Amino acid sequence: MNDAARYIKIVEWSDEDQCFVGQCPGVIGPCCHGANEAEVYAELCEIVDEWLDTLKKDGKPLPPPTAGQGLAEKIAG
């Protein structure tokens, strides 16, 4: 498993922007957007990979993982 798999990635429709917006809470805020949800998700995954690689190259610790923390259940609850 790569490091990026440890983080939840969210792509959601923005009424304000009239497009899909992607972000990875705890790693990077809204950082990509577009009309195609799958394309925005793919771009978001690339951005998160690059961001984490940069942190590692700079000798900085990675943020705490968000995947596997029951966030979906908390949101749905």
Question: Over the stretch 35-56, which tens digit does the pLDDT of each residue have?
Answer: 999 999 999 999 999 999 999 9
Q: 3-76 has which CATH code?
A: 3.30.160
User: Is residue 68's pLDDT more than 90?
Assistant: no
| Per-residue pLDDT tens digits for 21-34 | 999 999 999 999 99
Q: Where are the beta strands (DSSP E) in 19-74?
A: 19-24, 28-34
CA gap 50, 39 in Å, rounded: 17
CA gap 21, 35 in Å, rounded: 9
What pTM does this model have? Answer: 0.87
pLDDT of residue 1: 72
Domain extents in the chain: 3-76
